[in-house]
Structure 1
Amino acid sequence: MTEYDTGIEPITSASGISAVPSSSRYVPSTLVSDDEITVIDNKKINKQILKKPSAAYFNVGYTTWPKREAGNAASVALAAFSLTTFVLGLYLAQAKNIKIINIAIAPAIFFGGLIQFLAGVGLFLIGGAGNTFAATVFTSYGAFWLSFGSIYILNFGIIEAYGDDAEQFSYAIGFFLLGWSIFTFFMFLVTFKSTWPMLILFFTLDFGIFMLSAGFIAPNEKCVRGGGILLFISSLFGT
């Protein structure tokens, strides 16, 4: 098959596009030359033969199709994220005046935590087709749910360590969430070239986590409820 048939053409000096040195240690996978051509691995590739940005595959830029087909781990990871966020969002928003968090811990540990983390690892190893963003997001948020759920498991002794000092515990939760809001903000920046549902998902998620952080540090119950509502909205865009 010729280079013309595949839509892939090595960059030459006559192409009008500056070649990326072969010795370069990093070549951005979405280095766009124009509206029809992108550059991947020092080759000009027609966008029509590439995998487009997709919320289903959780890829934020044009990527080559995988040489080895495998199940789409991003689907189950996104489902795990959305369902767990949906449940926690409703709890934090105090829907039906529910104020006991225990029901949200089970999905946080097993579905949003364990399953999402394993799906992210699967994307790194076999199913990612070079989609490092999805693998990073799902392993990170899988670990987030595991760590968040472990706070409320008595055998870990995390809550017990604070004793009767509810104020200090509230501050600690706020700082924990603040770190994740910063991480989510950087993930949000990556989605600007992606689909609008993914953009809204990360915007509402980041804003929601930030409001929760502020609500626990302040503390302010209305701020926490607002954060819960934003998490609920974010979960809808992941389904």
Structure 2
Amino acid sequence: MIPTTPVAVKDGIANPAPLGLCAFGLTTVLLNIHNAGFYELNTMILGMGIFYGGLAQVIAGVIEAKKNNTFGLTAFTSYGFFWLSLVGLIVMPKLGWGTKPTEGAMVAYLGIWGFFTFCLFFGTLKLNRALQFVFASLTILFALLAIGDATGNKSITTFAGYEGIVCGLSAVYTGIAGVMNEVYGRVVMPVGPVESK
């Protein structure tokens, strides 16, 4: 006999957001320790930019598409390709594939990413406070880096580095909270969910 009642199918796809947030956050922290002046730009940052900040976020974004999450798809794939493009801007001139970007070009690059992040920030207003902080602090980071390049003022870039460390750590916190809260089945690390009205 064929059952007449619908059968609920559980979504068997894991939540990719913690992966995307941790990939973004850890890579952001490491780059901004450099921006804060603690070490030179090196292959450790480039490797993180390609493989964790870049590829892992793109993978997270593709999985978000499978989960029908447009915000997650847009954010994770975009920032994954941001990291890949940033590494490209550094490496391609060294390989003879074009010239190094000018300060003006970098201001435009950082500025447009800041504008994009500011637009996505409004999407976080329906999500949670932790994501609101990540996107607000990332908008500020892009603005500071653009201003630092526009003015040539190294102290602004150094300050941006410290602000970027905070931004990256907030993304790591949000990602780890997603893991821990799911593992324990309760709120272990609060993210400040937005109350529905």
Flag whether TM exceeds 0.5 (same fold). Answer: yes
Determine which of 105, 110, 126 is the counterpart of 1:193.
Answer: 126
Determine which of 166, 174, 180 is the counterpart of 2:107.
Answer: 174
**SS of alignment partner, residue 12 of structure 2:** coil
Instruction: Give a deviation string over 1:164-219, Cα, whole Å, max 9, x none.
Output: xxxx6222112111110000000111112322111111111110111101111112
Report the counterpart of residue 51 of structure 1 in structure 2.
none
Q: Which has the higher contact order (CA 8 A, sep 6+)?
A: 2
- Give, as a single letter, the amino acid of the residue that structure 1 aligns with 2:86: F
Shift of 1:79: 1.2
Change (3 A) 1:76 1:90: same
Report the counterpart of residue 85 of structure 2 in structure 1.
147
**Matched ranges for 1:44-59 at <5 A:** none
- Give, as a single letter, the amino acid of the residue that structure 2 aligns with 1:186: C
Determine which of 152, 155, 162 is the counterpart of 1:219.
Answer: 152
Shift of 1:157: 2.5
Mapped to 1, the partners of 2:9 and 2:16 lie a distance apart of: 13
**Contact 1:81/1:238 (8 A) holds in 2:** yes
Report the counterpart of residue 109 of structure 1 in structure 2.
50
- Give, as a single letter, the amino acid of the residue that structure 2 aligns with 1:228: G
- Percent identity between the aligned chains? 30
Unaligned runs of 5+ in 2: 1-7, 173-197
Determine which of 185, 189, 204 is the counterpart of 2:137.
Answer: 204
Higher strand share: 1
- Structure 1 runs (4+) greater than 6 angstroms displaced: none
Determine which of 224, 229, 234 is the counterpart of 2:162.
Answer: 229
Aligned length: 163
Mapped to 2, the partners of 1:89 and 1:68 lie a distance apart of: 37
Report the counterpart of residue 70 of structure 1 in structure 2.
13
From the CA coordinates, give the structure whose radius of gyration is larger. Answer: 1
| Superposition RMSD in Å | 1.9
**SS of alignment partner, residue 231 of structure 1:** helix
**SS of alignment partner, residue 152 of structure 1:** helix
**SS of alignment partner, residue 193 of structure 1:** coil
Mapped to 1, the partners of 2:42 and 2:102 lie a distance apart of: 15
**SS of alignment partner, residue 70 of structure 1:** coil
Report the counterpart of residue 91 of structure 1 in structure 2.
34
Change (3 A) 1:136 1:66: farther
- Give, as a single letter, the amino acid of the residue that structure 1 aligns with 2:44: I
Change (3 A) 1:122 1:66: farther
**SS of alignment partner, residue 100 of structure 1:** coil
Shift of 1:132: 1.0
TM-score normalized with structure 2 length: 0.76
- Give, as a single letter, the amino acid of the residue that structure 2 aligns with 1:238: A
TM-score normalized with structure 1 length: 0.64
Higher helix share: 2
